[in-house]
């Protein structure tokens, strides 16, 4: 049995228009990943979201915040996000999953830097 899925660090790079589309969409994968259900969910525990750079790319930085409990498997959410937007989504996310059945904690990275919808999982 899985007790908790968390993002413990890393970053996502996403075009501003895709960020806006995802945050306003009814079936938002990004809101699901960030575990933002309502505006009340915004707090200092959320990742930093940068201003767009010269290429209109926004960085969502998960470093320096407490672990972000996603409520769902971040591998599945990020895979679906990458499949939806392909080369527009870049980044590397560090995750942790706590299993009660095995009494273990597993850490892994999710690499989203491919130009297609491929997502690479790296066990640490």
Q: What is the pLDDT of residue 93?
A: 95
Please list the alpha-helical segments (H only) found in 1-124.
16-24, 29-34, 74-85
**Residue 90 token pair:** 């870049």
* Average confidence score pLDDT of the chain: 86
Question: What is the distance between the alpha carbons of residues 71 and 5, in angstroms, rounded to a whole number?
Answer: 6
pLDDT digits (tens, 9 = 90+) for 13-70: 999 999 999 988 888 888 878 767 555 555 556 788 899 999 999 999 999 888 888 8
**Residue 62 token pair:** 């998960």
Of 89, 92, 94, 69, which is closest to residue 2 (Cα–Cα)? Answer: 69
Q: What is the pLDDT of residue 99?
A: 82
């Amino acid at each position: 049995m899985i007790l908790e899925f968390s993002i413990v660090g890393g970053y996502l790079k996403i075009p501003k228009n895709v960020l806006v589309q995802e945050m306003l969409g009814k079936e938002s994968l990004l809101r699901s990943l960030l575990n933002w259900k309502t505006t009340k969910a915004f707090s200092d525990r959320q990742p930093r979201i940068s201003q767009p750079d010269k290429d209109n790319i926004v960085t969502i930085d998960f470093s320096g915040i407490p672990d972000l409990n996603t409520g769902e498997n971040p591998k599945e959410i990020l895979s679906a996000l990458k499949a939806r937007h392909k080369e527009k989504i870049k980044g590397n996310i560090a995750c942790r999953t706590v299993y009660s059945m095995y009494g273990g904690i597993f850490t892994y990275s999710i690499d989203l830097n491919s130009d297609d919808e491929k997502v690479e999982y790296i066990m640490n």
